[in-house]
Structure 1
Amino acid sequence: MSAPVGSEEAKRIANRLRRAQGQLAAVLTMVEEGRDCREVITQLSAVSSAIDRAGFAIIASAMRDCLREDEVEGDEAERAVRMADLERMFLSLA
């Protein structure tokens, strides 16, 4: 299944992932410097949350695209398969 992300939405997702990448680099530096574990965990939690939000945004976009396609295409079995795939992706982030 391929569901393209709109260009504006793709930019927002890419920015979110770049921030997460920067946060992850900071976490790595903190670990290498032997910083306090509470500080490291706090930053690691922020990275994880940013990545999760990006994943949810991608899946939400795919769901919107599938629903739009479903308005045009009438194959009930294929629609059920696509929605089941999206549900599995969504749950993998939960």
Structure 2
Amino acid sequence: MVQLDQSAVRPAANRLKRARGQLDAVIRMLDEGQDCEDVVTQLAAVSRALDRAGFSIVATGLKQCIADDGVESLDVQKMEKLFLSLA
């Protein structure tokens, strides 16, 4: 198990915080009866932000694993599973 370097994942955490704000806005839009197209557009933006944060976290973990333990210790199946879980 890899403990992620906090400074390396800070940008992803910030992206997730912005996505949380966007999601709150989508919920407000639904509660207020906003136009469907606007809601879907904002929801798609939230989804992309979550995907990007997830990929960034996995990539950071992969980079850290290789740097710490070398590529030989990399569990390729585990990494593949992590990436696919975001697809």
The TM-score by the shorter chain falls in which range?
0.7 to 0.9
Unaligned runs of 5+ in 2: none
Following TM superposition, by how much is the alpha carbon of 1:50 offset from its aligned partner in structure 2, in angstroms?
0.5
Q: How many residues align?
A: 86
1:56 corresponds in structure 2 to 55
User: Aligned equivalents of 1:25 and 1:90: distance in 2?
Assistant: 27
Following TM superposition, by how much is the alpha carbon of 1:7 offset from its aligned partner in structure 2, in angstroms?
2.4
1:85 corresponds in structure 2 to 78
Question: What secondary structure, in the 3-state scheme, does the structure 2 residue paired with 1:11 have?
Answer: helix
Question: What secondary structure, in the 3-state scheme, does the structure 1 residue paired with 2:44 have?
Answer: helix
Structure label with greater radius of gyration: 1
The two structures have a TM-score, normalised by structure 2, of 0.88
User: Aligned equivalents of 1:54 and 1:4: distance in 2?
Assistant: 17
1:39 corresponds in structure 2 to 38
1:70 corresponds in structure 2 to 70
The two structures have a TM-score, normalised by structure 1, of 0.82
Task: Decide which moves more: 6-15 or 84-93.
Answer: 6-15
Following TM superposition, by how much is the alpha carbon of 1:45 offset from its aligned partner in structure 2, in angstroms?
0.4
User: Aligned equivalents of 1:9 and 1:28: distance in 2?
Assistant: 30
Asked if 1:27 is matched to 2:20, the reply is no
1:17 corresponds in structure 2 to 16
Following TM superposition, by how much is the alpha carbon of 1:46 offset from its aligned partner in structure 2, in angstroms?
0.5
User: Aligned equivalents of 1:11 and 1:59: distance in 2?
Assistant: 13
Return structure 1 stretches of 4+ with deviation > 3 angstroms: none
How big is the alpha-carbon RMSD for the aligned residues of Structure 1 and Structure 2?
Answer: 1.5
